[in-house]
Structure 1
Amino acid sequence: MIRLLLAEKAPLLRGGLVALFTELDDLHVVAEVSSGEQVLGTALSRRPDVALIDIGLPGLDGFAAAHALRRELPECRTVLMTGKVRKGDLRRAAAVRAAGLVLKDTSPSELVDAIRRVATGARVVDPDLAFSELGGAESPLTEREIEVLSLASGGASAAQIAEDLVLTIGTVRNHLSRINRKIGARNRVHAIRIAEDAGWL
């Protein structure tokens, strides 16, 4: 039996997925949440084998939630879901060590197959997302800078980023300043917009 945590912001889609999984003998939804902030605490108490997480969760986004989950509950494997093909998503999924990245418009059977494969230790990536990544411009940012900017894009303060990544606030501020210089951004908001448009976030 695969114990599954479902994190999806849209109630209708979340309910539909729960109904789909309830029909299966080998999947059991142990918890469903609607925001990124709920993912880690719920996972620690319910101990799922796989977490299916929408990357567009409000507050703490799916990438940041997956990162926290990987750090605190590494035995839980993560499948991230996205509603559209966007350059940079595969790179971000790899940076937080997600085991899978799928499109929301995939078929029910393909989604279930992805969850089952991830539960056995495989990694799963939607082909459209893989091809999109191949066409993306190379990021001048380091993996750590991407992590910092990703958390900042979710609304995290320098102090929150420092706590999440186990860094000092000064180090986080240095990273943010270096990011601005590298990509010619005026400030943090501008840097996030540049990085998102280029597909680095």
Structure 2
Amino acid sequence: MAMTRVLVLHSVSLMRSALAALLKTEGSFEVSSAGWRSARRYVGALRPDVCVVDLDCPGTAALLEGGERDGEACPVPRAGLLVLASAGRPGALRRAFEARALGFVDKHGSPQRLVRGITKVAAGERFVDESLAFGFLEASRMPLTARELSVLARAAEGESIAEIARGLHLSNGTVRNYMASATRKVGARNRIDAIRITQGAGWV
């Protein structure tokens, strides 16, 4: 039987080692693991059939969006992408879907579900845990515009109204209007509360 090549990408060494050890005992997998800095090298050398990524890891957004991580481009690997996700973070689910992930496994589920997901993705089939259905429903209802999200994301990084305005080539008043609109749409009390809500949902 041909072995399925699996690469586990995780920012925490202990977690990626534990996942790799689990998968080695659960299925007919040839398993490797790597951190973000060595992701590109491992993908190129191993040519995995499936890449397993935890959506809650710092750095996952850069991976999914093809952005920069520690000065090095880190695009989505050319392999079946399977993400470990939580229903309570619909924004992260949406980003993974837009990055053409094939597998969506509830990180609070059983090892058997992960094994089944990897097997399906390796065969080029989509796999979605039923428990993530609510998260996908919420993702489709995302109330904020791209501009409102970008303003909140910059605010979450600690930028002032003036800095956000300069960065986005907007007036201070327009930034305040976007901030007020986003705060109202997510049912927040103020800007800080809006950032907390959107970060908790994985939107920023």
AA at the equivalent of 2:182: I
Q: CA deviation at 1:194?
A: 4.1
Aligned to 1:2: 4
Aligned to 1:68: 66
Q: What is the TM-score of this pair, normalised by structure 1?
A: 0.66
Aligned to 1:128: 131
Contact 1:87–1:198, Cα closer than 8 Å, also in 2: yes
AA at the equivalent of 2:21: A
Q: Does 1:116 align with 2:119?
A: yes
Aligned to 1:27: 29
Q: CA deviation at 1:112?
A: 0.7
Q: CA deviation at 1:111?
A: 0.7
Contact 1:140–1:182, Cα closer than 8 Å, also in 2: no
In the alignment, structure 2 segments of 5+ residues that lack a partner are 68-73, 160-164, 185-189
Do the aligned partners of residues 87 and 105 (structure 1) sit closer, same or farther apart at CA in structure 2, a change above 3 Å counting? closer
**Whole-Å Cα distance in 1 between the matches of residues 81 and 152 of structure 2?**
18
Q: Does 1:54 align with 2:57?
A: no
Once the two structures are superposed, residues 19-72 of structure 1 have per-residue CA deviations (whole angstroms, 9 ceiling, x without a partner) of: 222236631123332xx44433432343222110111223x1x24313329x84
Q: What is the TM-score of this pair, normalised by structure 2?
A: 0.65
In the alignment, structure 1 segments of 5+ residues that lack a partner are 158-169
Matches within 5 A, 1:1-201: 1-23=3-25, 26-33=28-35, 36-58=36-58, 60=59, 62-68=60-66, 72=75, 75-82=78-85, 84-88=86-90, 89-135=92-138, 138-142=141-145, 173=168, 177=175, 180=179, 182-184=181-183, 192-197=195-200, 200-201=203-204
Comparing 86-95 with 174-183, greater Cα deviation is found at 174-183
Q: What SS does the aligned partner of 1:48 have?
A: coil
Larger Rg: 2
Do the aligned partners of residues 66 and 92 (structure 1) sit closer, same or farther apart at CA in structure 2, a change above 3 Å counting? closer
Do the aligned partners of residues 125 and 145 (structure 1) sit closer, same or farther apart at CA in structure 2, a change above 3 Å counting? farther
Q: CA deviation at 1:199?
A: 6.1
User: How many residues are aligned here?
Assistant: 182
